[in-house]
């Protein structure tokens, strides 16, 4: 059976001979689990984004899990089961799952149809005296309106947790997203801004949370903690300390190979994002006056993970459009989860809905996205517009 040649892929490898060479070096050295490359990559990553501490894990999903877990073990005002967490109605499944796994109560808020992030007016209405945490998801590379969010929470004791897995390198008023909240998480999966095969990172300026994250990442033990730390008094006896467990931890350790590749990829990130933003300018020029669709409105400086399309005419059948795009070799996906409340996983959650979920439902029914890349996509984007136009009329 003849297969369609893909003309516009969701993602393409950003590796070259440099990444292959460092993989060979790790293999030749013979140490594959978390070691010097991980430590060096963490230090470089924290330095690049201007954060005090970085903790690498095996995926962005694990970064979310570890980040949520750490907030239960801090000494001052820790999270407890049943605490209220505000979340957007659109994100990835593992933005939400750690919150459920730790017994938190979720309050869902609708998104803005243009930015795809929080509808800030609805977010403000949702906050109560019970609110302990706001999950801020910077969707598809686009920063949230942090000035307004900070103004809303003001002096309230509410933790801002950034899921920045789709937005590495984005900026809000010259601050990198992922560094604005108490904790920020990143993903380095194949289709993301840099690729380490699998991999995630957590950034924080809070020393206590950093020590908690380090312990939780590897079994809950003390081994990687410094002698002077926020959690315990370490003995001088390294034998006793080698298997001493102080927290109910995990094994989310990354591989040396992923970290070695990460060090190379991080040096290329600025150039990657420069090209992604050039592609975005082409995309906006092509579609901003296309009345049949709504495209994502950039807030401050997006790193443009991908390009969203929301069909803006009730007479247009999305299924028919997607089929025609696929037949022409254009890969598409839903806009992340669409309205996550439509997914069967929610039957396991303790949650409520604040206001009406209108825009998330619109993108569930009428939205999709195509990929962005570190490569020039001018030809692909023009082909996409022509094909989309033909599929609509």
What values do phi and psi take at 141, rounded to 5?
90, -5
Question: What CATH code is carried by the domain that includes residue 321?
Answer: 3.90.1150.10
Angstrom distances, CA of residue 42 to CA of 36, 167, 194, 250, 266: 10, 18, 14, 19, 11
Provide the residue range defining the domain that includes 372: 270-392
Residue 315: predicted pLDDT: 80
The catalytic site residues sit at: 192
Dihedral angle sign, alpha carbons of residues 315, 317, 321, 322 = positive
Residue 155: predicted pLDDT: 83
Question: Would you report the helix, strand and coil content of the chain in percent, each value rounded to 5?
Answer: 40, 20, 40
Residue 314: predicted pLDDT: 79
Sheet holding 367-371, edge to edge: 293-295, 306-311, 367-371
Q: Is residue 59 part of a domain?
A: yes
Contact present, 217 and 250 (Cβ < 8 Å): yes
pTM: 0.96
Q: Is residue 368 part of a domain?
A: yes
Q: Is residue 138 part of a domain?
A: yes
For the chain, 393 residues long, the average pLDDT of each consecutive 10-residue run is 70 95 97 96 98 98 98 97 98 98 98 98 97 98 98 94 98 97 97 96 98 98 95 92 96 98 98 98 95 96 98 90 96 96 98 98 97 97 95 86
N-terminal to C-terminal alpha carbon distance within the chain: 30
Q: Tell me: do 256 and 164 sit in the same domain.
A: yes
Six token digits for residue 117: 């992030």
Contact present, 146 and 167 (Cβ < 8 Å): no
Q: Is residue 5 part of a domain?
A: no
Q: Is residue 1 part of a domain?
A: no
What values do phi and psi take at 312, rounded to 5?
-110, 25
What is the C-alpha separation between 252 and 64, in angstroms, rounded? 11
Q: Is residue 208 part of a domain?
A: yes
Residues facing residue 53 across a β-bridge: 204
What is the C-alpha separation between 214 and 188, in angstroms, rounded? 19
User: Which residues 6+ apart lie within 8 Å of 175 measured at CB?
Assistant: 146
Contact present, 73 and 62 (Cβ < 8 Å): no
DSSP-derived letter for residue 205 is: S
Number of domains the chain is built from: 2
Q: Tell me: do 133 and 247 sit in the same domain.
A: yes
């Amino acid at each position: 059976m003849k297969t369609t040649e893909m003309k516009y892929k969701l993602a393409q490898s950003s590796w070259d001979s440099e990444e292959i060479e460092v993989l060979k070096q790790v293999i030749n050295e013979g140490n594959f689990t978390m070691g010097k490359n991980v430590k060096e990559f963490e230090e470089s990553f924290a330095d690049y984004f201007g954060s005090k501490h970085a903790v690498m894990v095996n995926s962005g999903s694990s970064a979310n899990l570890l980040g949520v877990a750490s907030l239960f073990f801090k000494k001052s005002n820790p999270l407890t089961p049943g605490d209220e967490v505000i979340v957007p109605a659109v994100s990835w499944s593992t933005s939400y799952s750690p919150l459920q796994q730790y017994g938190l109560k979720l309050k869902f808020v609708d998104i803005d149809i243009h930015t795809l992030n929080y509808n800030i007016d609805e977010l403000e209405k949702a906050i109560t005296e019970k609110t302990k945490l706001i999950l801020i998801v910077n969707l598809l590379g686009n920063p949230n309106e942090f000035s307004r969010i900070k103004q809303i929470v003001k002096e309230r004791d509410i933790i801002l947790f950034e899921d920045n897995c789709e937005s590495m390198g984005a900026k809000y008023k010259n601050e990198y997203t992922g560094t604005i909240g108490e904790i920020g998480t990143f993903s380095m999966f194949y289709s993301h801004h840099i690729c380490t095969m699998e991999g995630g990172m957590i950034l924080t300026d809070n020393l206590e949370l950093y020590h908690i994250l380090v312990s939780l990442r590897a079994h809950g033990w003390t081994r990687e903690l410094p002698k002077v730390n926020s959690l315990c008094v370490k003995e001088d006896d390294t034998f006793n300390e080698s298997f001493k467990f102080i927290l109910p931890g995990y094994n989310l350790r990354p591989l040396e190979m992923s970290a070695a590749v990460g060090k190379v990829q991080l040096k290329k990130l600025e150039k990657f994002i420069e090209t992604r933003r050039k592609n975005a300018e082409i995309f906006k020029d092509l579609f901003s006056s296309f009345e049949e669709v709504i495209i994502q409105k950039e807030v401050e400086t997006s790193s443009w993970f991908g390009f969203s399309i929301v069909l803006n005419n009730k007479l247009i059948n999305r299924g028919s459009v997607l089929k025609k795009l696929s037949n022409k070799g254009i890969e598409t996906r839903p806009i992340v989860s669409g309205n996550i409340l439509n997914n069967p996983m929610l039957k396991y959650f303790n949650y409520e809905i604040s206001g009406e979920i209108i825009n998330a439902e619109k993108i569930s029914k009428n939205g999709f996205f195509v990929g962005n890349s570190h490569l020039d996509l001018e030809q692909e984007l023009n082909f996409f517009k022509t094909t989309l136009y033909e599929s609509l009329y």
